Structure 1
Amino acid sequence: METRRILLEGAAVTAVRDGDDLVAGDGRRVAIDDALHLPPVVPGKILCVHLNYRSRVEEFGTTLPAAPTYFSKPVSALNAHEGAIVRPERCQWLNYEGEIGIVIGRHTRNVTQAQAWDAIAGYTVANDYGLHDFRDTDAGSMLRVKGSDTLCPLGPGLVSADHWDPRDGMRIRTLVNGEVRQDGNTAEMEWDMAYLVADLARTISLEPGDVILSGTPANSRPVGPGDVVEVEVEGLGTLRNRIVAGPTAIREDVGAQPTESEEVRSTALGGDWEYRGIRAPRRD
């Protein structure tokens, strides 16, 4: 079963997908193409694993740690299917990262991996955008890199864990303007969904609606205003967003400023690069 949250006649409602329609609890119907989508869940927190897909590890020319490491995105970064992703002025290193979001279904604390599967309500498509212009100052916390407004679109819907199983080896692709840029499979994840849930729940109480982003395959790259980015996950659907230019620049009178260091460029362009004047595709 797939549910979606939409804005229907001014109210946020949960609707069930019925073919090409969405059906609200009171029976009202709206065509999917006409629906105004909201994030499919309202999480209290969004937790994200760093490296997890083997192709991404190989791309960076590194090795995985003995156990996963994590960062968080604030809920103010939430966005939805067909929502605009804002790249602020004076920033150019905005990268897509197609991912699968794990949605928690019940209070979860101190569980085994077997029990963790039962704690998962379902899954959604996600794009863990990163504003790498701030990587030099926020690399430890990833706060502005991954937590700036609009940088966490989820959707279009939530598919029940009873109807979708990542252990079946599900394909995940990211397309930019119709061209495939990322192409991976859940079979290449080092740590599966239940491991991530059980690991985090050792010390953090997970609540219904909380989201865990489970990692991205190789080939995350910068995008700019005008680009349309789609993340397709087999059995979960397609999350589509357009990149737009922010109307205001990052303030210069406070805080660290956007940078274009070797670390910023290396991360945005895929790891072990020789820089020789390479620049991100900038569209104004």
Structure 2
Amino acid sequence: MKHARVAYEGVIYDAIQLGEGIQLTNGKIVMEDEVVWLPPFVPQTIFALGLNYAEHARELSFHTPSEPLVFLKGPNTIVGHRGKTVRPSDVTFMHYECELAVVIGKMARNVKAKDAYDYIRGYTIANDYAFRDYLENYYRPNLRVKNRDSSTAIGPWLVDAEDIQDPMNLKLQTFVNGEKTQEGNTSDMIISIPELIEYLSGFMTLNPRDVILTGTPKGSVDTKVGDEVVTEIEGLGRLVNTIVAEPVLQQ
């Protein structure tokens, strides 16, 4: 089943996909363009993976890391489907990153890879923008690269884990203004989803609604103000995001 969180007539609802529309928890059926889309769940800890696809690492002229390159993101970074992401006025290279997001469903500690799927609630799409001008060290990305407000779109749906037969074999695509600019498959991950859960839960407790952004394939393209960026993952839907200019502060 596909789950969402939306605002409709000033009230926030949980919702599910129903045909071409969505059904709110009060039973009302509305069309997708009648609501404001929120992230499909409220994240707890947000883990992000760098350089987890070999071709992407080569594209950036970096060696693949010997263990997961993990960093944390704040809740300020999250925005929903059809949301807007600001391009800072001083940035010369701001690129999208289409990523499979794994949502934890129950407390996990010292989980072995063979058991890891038992701890997953579901999956969603993430578009985690990077602001390359601020990059100091890709092996330890600084806060300004990955923690800007509304820089990570997620959604539109949280898809139940049991509805995704093989999360390690899903097609990913990105389109900028309708033109395909990125394509890959989760089978190309260097460190798999079960291995990531084993690694993280080996030294810390994972909790429900923690989310792991699992990295992006090659195909990093600069985005400009006004661009519509659509990230798609097989079985999960399509996530729409628009780039907007930084507001001009009044003197």
Q: Is the 8 A contact 1:104 1:209 kept in 2?
A: yes
Pairs aligned (count):
249
Displacement, 1:190? Answer: 1.5
Q: What CA deviation, in whole Å up to 9, does each residue of 1:83-104 have, x standing for no partner?
A: 0111122223211111111111
Amino acid of the structure 1 residue aligned with 2:222: P
8 Å Cα contact 2:168/2:192 also seen in 1: no
Q: Which residue of 2 aligns with 1:234?
A: 234
Letter in 2 for 1:157: W
Report matched runs for 1:59-98 at 5 Å: 59-98=59-98
Shift of 1:115: 2.0
Output the amino acid matched with 1:177: N
1:151 aligns with 2:151: yes
Contiguous gaps of at least 5 residues in structure 1: 250-284
Asked if structure 2 preserves the Cα contact closer than 8 Å seen for 1:166 and 1:186, the reply is: no
The residue number in structure 1 matching 2:52 is 52
Matched, 1:130 2:130: yes
**Is the 1:3–1:158 contact (alpha carbons within 8 Å) kept by the matching residues of 2?**
yes
| Structure 1 residue identity aligned to 2:177 | N
Range with bigger deviation, 195-204 or 225-234: 195-204
Structure 1, residues 55-110: CA drift from partner, whole Å, max 9, x if none? 21332344322221111111111101100111122223211111111111111111
Residue 177 (structure 1) shift: 0.7
1:238 deviates by 0.4
Give secondary structure in 2 for the equivalent of 1:16.
strand
The one-letter amino acid of 1:8's match is Y
Secondary structure of the 1:154 match is: strand
The match for 1:161 is 161
Distance 2:232 2:170 in 1: 10
1:5 aligned onto 2:1:
no
**Distance of 2:247 and 2:61 partners within structure 1:** 37
Give the alignment's Cα RMSD to 1 decimal.
1.7
Rounded to whole Å, the distance in 2 between the matches of 1:115 and 1:138 is 31
Distance 2:167 2:124 in 1: 15
Instruction: Tell me the TM-score normalized by structure 1.
Output: 0.83
Question: More strand by proportion, 1 or 2?
Answer: 2
CA apart distance, 1:113: 0.9
- C-alpha distance in structure 2 between counterparts of 1:24 and 1:167, whole Å: 27
State how far apart, in whole Å, the 2-side matches of 1:223 and 1:100 are: 20
In 1, the alpha carbon distance for the partners of 2:74 and 2:33 equals: 29
SS in structure 2 of the partner of residue 205 of structure 1: coil
Residue 228 of structure 1: how far off its partner (Å): 0.6
Judge conservation of contact 2:21–2:29 (CA < 8 Å) in 1.
yes
Amino acid at match of 1:86: V
TM-fit CA distance, 1:25: 2.0
Partner of 1:218: 218
CA contact (8 A) 2:94 2:223 kept: yes
State the distance in 2 between where 1:139 and 1:132 align: 13
Q: Counterpart in 1 of 2:114?
A: 114
In structure 2, runs of 5+ residues without a counterpart are none
Hey, what's the Cα distance between the residues in 1 that align with 2:28 and 2:167?
Answer: 35
1:151-190 superposed matches below 5 A: 151-167=151-167, 169-190=169-190
Cα distance between partner residues in 2 of 1:166 and 1:137: 33
